[in-house]
Amino acid sequence: MTSNGYDSSVASEIIASFDAKPELLIQILHQFLERFTYISKDAIRQLASELNLSRAEVHGVVSFYHDFRTEPPGKHIVKICEAEACQAMGSRQLSEHAQSTLGVDMHQTKDDVTLEPVYCLGNCACSPAVMIDGHTYGRVDAKRFDELIGRLGSGKLGGKK
């Protein structure tokens, strides 16, 4: 992640790097997410204009894919895998535990921590898997989750449960 300040010139450069092809909208959105951390209303407006799509079309894609958050995330992003292999190893219970521990629902932010579901981190052999600030951890149970969260450096989060 670089910045969450939207810059329409940078956005135009990203769009141009994909030759402003509307069929590459998803790839462009991923680049926007990497650069701006979320897809703002300004971003949707500019994408629609420069890709010759309607705002509804862009918004439809953004809202369909869970990856494309539309609100600024916290300083820390915690993702819990809810795909099949992880579910079989208890990720649903882990998600409930995470929501309770962090005091947020999925897709919400509190105390600078954003909690999100993700659908396979490529770590299925070590389910359930969690990603925190871009680092993947395997075989995460409630106890390990709390330890990992405790390491984020927020005194409010460490040592709960």
Q: Which stretch in 18-26, 34-42, 108-116, 119-127 sits in contact with ligand FES by CB under 6 A?
A: 119-127
Residue 159 makes CB contacts below 8 A (sequence gap 6+) with 146, 150
Which listed range, 11-19, 47-55, 118-126, 145-153, lies at the site for ligand FES (CB under 6 A)? 118-126
Report if residue 129 touches ligand FES, rule: CB under 6 A: yes
130 near ligand FES (CB under 6 A) = no
Residue 13 beta carbon to ligand FES: minimum distance, rounded to whole angstroms? 33
Tokens representing 119 are: 């659908």
User: Minimum distance from CB of 138 to ligand FES (Å)?
Assistant: 8
| Residue ranges in 78-97 that form contacts with ligand FES under rule CB under 6 A | 81, 83-86
Tell me: does residue 127 bind ligand FES (CB under 6 A): yes
Interatomic CA distance for residues 8 and 14, integer angstroms: 10
Contact between 109 and ligand FES (CB under 6 A)?
Answer: no
Pairing of strands 135-137, 130-132: antiparallel
Render 39-104 in DSSP notation, one character per residue.
Answer: --HHHHHHHHHHHT--HHHHHHHHHHSTT---S---SEEEEEE-SHHHHHTTHHHHHHHHHHHHT-
Contacts of 135 (CB under 8 A, 6+ apart): none
Per rule CB under 6 A, is residue 142 in the interface with ligand FES? Answer: no
Does residue number 40 form part of the binding site for ligand FES (CB under 6 A)?
Answer: no
Name the phi and psi angles at 108, rounded to 5: -115, 165
Per CB under 6 A, residues contacting ligand FES are 81, 83-86, 120-121, 123-124, 127, 129
